[in-house]
Amino acid sequence: MTGPGRGEGAEVPRPAGPGIARPPSPLSGSRCRRDGNGRVLFAHRDRRRAITVFEIGLPDGAKRFATGGTRSLFALRAGTARDLRALVVAEGAVNALSLAQIDRCHVQSACLSTAGAPSKSQREQIGLAARLLPNLEAVILAQDNDEAGERQAETLRARVKIPPRVAFQRCRPPENADWNDIVNPARTGRRPR
C-alpha cells in the first residue's frame, strides 16, 4: 500500500497483547503513538478493536499511511456508548483532535477520522455505529470547507445507512479551511473568519 496518500514505506506497528479482549464495538477507542521520527501515528481500528493501519500526521498537515493495512476509523471519544448523542466525522485525525479541542466534540460525541475520502467499509462502519448506539441523535459531517470536503460530506449523506431517529447535520469550518486552522492558525498563516 504505497503511493500518494497511501504510505511512506513504514512498517505497520502491530498491537501488543492477544488482540480482542472485549466484545466487538463499532467505535473502538483509538490510540496515538509517536514514531522514531517524531511523527504522530493514529491507530485506525475495526469493529473488533483490531488495529488495521496507522494514519501518519505530518507537520504540514498532510496525511499518510503505514504500509500493509487498510483504513477503518480513528475514533476519539469520552463516556460510554449510552452517553453518545453524536458521531462527528472529520477528514483526518488531526482535525478530529482539533474538533475535540474547540468543543465541537464533547462528552456526548465521538470524533471520527476517515483519513480522506470515506471508503465503503468506513461508510458501513459509521452506519453500524449509528444503528447500534442506542441514544444517537446525529451524524455530524465536519469535513473541510472546500470542494473535496463537500463531495465527501455528500457521499456520506447519500451512502451511509442510518436509522430514522438519527439525522445528518453539516458543520463547516471557515471557507477553504479545516478545523486545525482554527486551533493552529500559525500553521497556514490564515486566521479563520
Residues in the chain: 193
| DSSP β-bridge partners for residue 82 | none
HSE (side-chain half, CA atoms, 13 Å) at 131: 10
What whole-number distance in Å separates Cα of residue 71 and Cα of residue 113? Answer: 10
Q: Are 155 and 117 in contact (CB under 8 A)?
A: yes
Helix (H, G, I), strand (E, B) or coil at 110: strand
The CATH architecture annotation of domain 72-185 reads: 3-Layer(aba) Sandwich (3.40)
Q: What pairing do the DSSP bridges indicate for beta strands 63-65 and 51-57? A: antiparallel
Per-residue tens of pLDDT for the chain, all 193 residues: 333 333 333 333 333 333 333 334 445 555 778 888 878 888 888 878 888 888 887 766 667 777 778 888 888 776 678 888 999 999 988 888 888 887 656 668 888 999 889 999 999 999 999 999 999 999 999 999 999 999 999 999 999 999 999 999 999 988 877 888 888 777 655 544 4
What whole-number distance in Å separates Cα of residue 56 and Cα of residue 96? Answer: 14
- Output the pTM of the full model: 0.76
Domain ranges (residues) in the chain: 72-185
What whole-number distance in Å separates Cα of residue 84 and Cα of residue 28? Answer: 13
Q: Is 126 exposed, middle or buried (0-12, 13-18, 19+ CB in 10 A)?
A: buried
Question: Nearest 5°: CA angle at 52, between 50 and 56?
Answer: 125
